[in-house]
Structure 1
Amino acid sequence: MTRRRGLRAPAGSPIGSYVPGNGPLHRLSPGVKLLALAAFAVGIVATQQALAPIPALVCGLAALALGLLAAVIAGLRGRRLLRVALGFAVVGALVFAFQAWQHGPVRALTVTSGLFALVIAASAVTTSTRAEEMVDAITRGLRPFRRFGVDPDRVGLAFSLAFRALPEAFRIAAESRDAARARGLSRNPRAYATPLVIRMVAHARATGAAMQARGLGDD
């Protein structure tokens, strides 16, 4: 499969973009990091479901501390780490408010801290791993499933597009917000949402046209 290059998040993206380095996480293989991230996510969900509220909260905070440690080791510090936190802030506030309303503040803090821990850990993986290496690792890991009808190349392509689309969506959203602010319309949701939707649709159509020109998705 052809290796994909240049799949890095823009500097303004709240997703941790690749930072060159030679630390412990950089030296781990992409497959090991992805498996560890999956196990980390399963562990967070399992402890929240199996433990009493206070022990679950302690585990959630411990997971958050572990995620922050991994992020620092990966090179996700300072403004980069703050950008990830701010990118999560809105979603985190909504999750906390809903959980607090339904289950109380302890459960809300447990769920929010676990979710933030997973976001930080995922950012540590993307910070210490080139996107094309992750795609290749996913493709290799899925090859044994060909016998069950799984197409590893198509799955790898889907992840490749996701790695490009998410940072691009954040970039377009930031540019649309700045444009609305420059026109003095920062409090007008239509001035922000309309160009955002139009540009995102245009980006999706351009991506589809590029794939079709390469003979992908014709079936």
Structure 2
Amino acid sequence: MLDLYTPGTSMLHRMSPGPKMAALAIAATALFLQESLLVTALAVVAILALYRVANIPMKTALAQIRPLMWIFVIFFAVQWYFSGLTLAAYVVLRLAALILLASLVTLTTRASDMIDSMTRALRLFKPIGVNPDKVSLAISLALRFIPVLGRIATEVREAQKTRGLERSIIAVAMPLAIRAIKMADDVSDAIESRGYRS
């Protein structure tokens, strides 16, 4: 259910999951360390270019962030009010870049390959009590959580729209929160059912 993999033969599809996830971690860290609006905007353009390299339509790329637009609007308004237009644009673009980049990894990587790669890497920490299987599964599911949550948000918004409640933040947020908690419970049950105990 949480595997968002889109089949393809592009360079990104063929790339090993390890380097892709390492690049994701490095890029995400770099985005947080720099504070330039121009650099952040260029990063978004570069990430969208990578979607083209992966032969993933722009429609699919935009679909990763469209369900979260209302969150972007809230973030933008709050940051603009307290810190100014430039910082507001920077914060929203950085968040969009992170979501697009994480989504690109999940769209071009099978869930099983990602879990296997993380499990191998985490075995180095097994002597200090880390359970590689449990941690890698949790991280893999977390990478998929935001795009799936976005799709749930779209479903909830459409359902509330038919009731004339699409303008009510509470009417949209409460069902979304409940479904997110239910998903978290399902993930926890799945981890425990596989015997991944700490």
Q: TM-score of the superposition, structure 2-length normalised?
A: 0.80
CA distance in 2, matches of 1:143, 1:177: 42
Q: In the alignment, what sits opposite 2:20?
A: 33
In structure 1, what residue type is equivalent to 2:67? G
- Identify the match of residue 108 of structure 1 among 88, 94, 110: 88
Listed as ranges, the matches of 1:70-219 within 5 Å are 70-162=50-142, 166=146, 169-187=149-167, 192=172, 196=176, 215=195
Q: Any gaps of 5 or more consecutive residues in structure 1?
A: 1-5, 10-17, 49-55
SS in 2 for 1:150: coil
1:181/1:21 Cα in 2 relative to 1: closer, same or farther (>3 Å)? same
Instruction: Number of aligned residue pairs: give it.
Output: 198
Q: Which has the larger radius of gyration?
A: 1
1:57/1:162 Cα in 2 relative to 1: closer, same or farther (>3 Å)? closer
Deviation at 1:212, TM superposition (A): 5.2
In structure 2, what residue type is equivalent to 1:72? R
CA distance in 1, matches of 2:95, 2:174: 30
Deviation at 1:210, TM superposition (A): 5.5
| Residue deviations 1:133-179 (CA, integer Å, cap 9, x gap) | 11221111111011122111111232354466555544544444333
| Residue deviations 1:192-216 (CA, integer Å, cap 9, x gap) | 5565555555555555556555555
- Identify the match of residue 8 of structure 1 among 3, 10, 27: 3
Q: Any gaps of 5 or more consecutive residues in structure 2?
A: none
CA distance in 1, matches of 2:94, 2:173: 30
Q: TM-score of the superposition, structure 1-length normalised?
A: 0.73
1:98/1:152 Cα in 2 relative to 1: closer, same or farther (>3 Å)? same
Q: Deviating runs (4+, > 6 A) in structure 1? A: none
Would you say the 8 A contact 2:160–2:166 is kept in 1?
Answer: yes
Amino-acid identity (%): 38
